[in-house]
Amino acid sequence: MLAVAFAENWMKENQALAPLVIFLGLACNNGSHCGTSPLAQYLDSVALQINHAVVTPTGNDGIRQHHYRGNISNQKEQIVEINIERDIAGFYLECWSLAPERVLIQVRSPNGETRPTSANMDNLSQSYRFPLEGTKITIDYRDVGKRRRDQLVFVRFENKPSKEDMIEMWKNFKGRAQELELPSAPKQFLHYFEEDNMPQTKLHRNLENGMAVSIGRLREDSQYDYKFVCLAHNTLRGAAGGAVLLAELLCAEGYMD
């Protein structure tokens, strides 16, 4: 990020007229690959500027089995076997989960030792020794999505509807703004996404000019009836655009006559 910032500042200080092309030719397995890391978002902002371009190569790293992806159902565990070659002095891996989900890591050695023995996510960094294996592991929990603004919603019903009924009601919902077909109103206010990694800030914040609400990951909850994630643009839907839409509604309803 510092290197990209240096290139940007050099272009501005020297008033260079030539385009700035940033080529990142670094093969790497790290990161969540979902476009929400600080580096990914910074490069997005750079690429949106005039005469700026960001180029990243792609290859066949996916077929080398360096990645593993799976879905873990609510309150369940997923066992992943990791095979390490002999005489490897050390290695590391990354386990990513989509906000707002939390993942607890436990490691079981070939001899059956398990660390940690109980759930503990209070500390950011935890180290554990495996006496029979003569090794040590360190588990770090980090919240790196500083700019994610997903909202987690818990819902409890008196007469619990089915998941299909809730999705159908969201898709068919029309507010007063849609009935009046106001200029700033989204044609469809609520959008539900079936994919298990949606909605995402980068992809859906500007949905219908930033005036729509994105919903996803509806699932049952052990404490409440359901939980889901919804996403809305804080400036367009929540502030400036919301104020304009409210003014349009007042005019349409005759309050400004």
Quick one: which H or E segment has residue 152? strand 151-155
How crowded is residue 230: how many other Cβ atoms within 10 Å of its Cβ?
19
How crowded is residue 222: how many other Cβ atoms within 10 Å of its Cβ?
7
pLDDT digits (tens, 9 = 90+) for 139-198: 777 665 555 545 666 667 777 888 999 999 999 999 999 999 999 999 999 999 998 888
Predicted structure pTM score = 0.48
Q: Which domains does the chain have, with CATH numbers?
A: 2-59 (no CATH), 67-144 (no CATH), 151-252 (3.30.360.10)
Kindly give, in sequence order, each residue whose CB lies less than 8 Å from that of residue 114, ignoring residues fewer than 6 positions away. 106, 107, 108
pLDDT digits (tens, 9 = 90+) for 60-88: 665 566 666 677 666 667 777 777 777 77
Residue 145 Cα distances to 44, 116, 123, 150, angstroms? 15, 25, 18, 10
Residue 70 Cα distances to 97, 142, 234, angstroms? 10, 20, 31
Tell me what pLDDT residue 121 has.
Answer: 56
Q: CA torsion 132→138→139→140, rounded to 10°?
A: 170
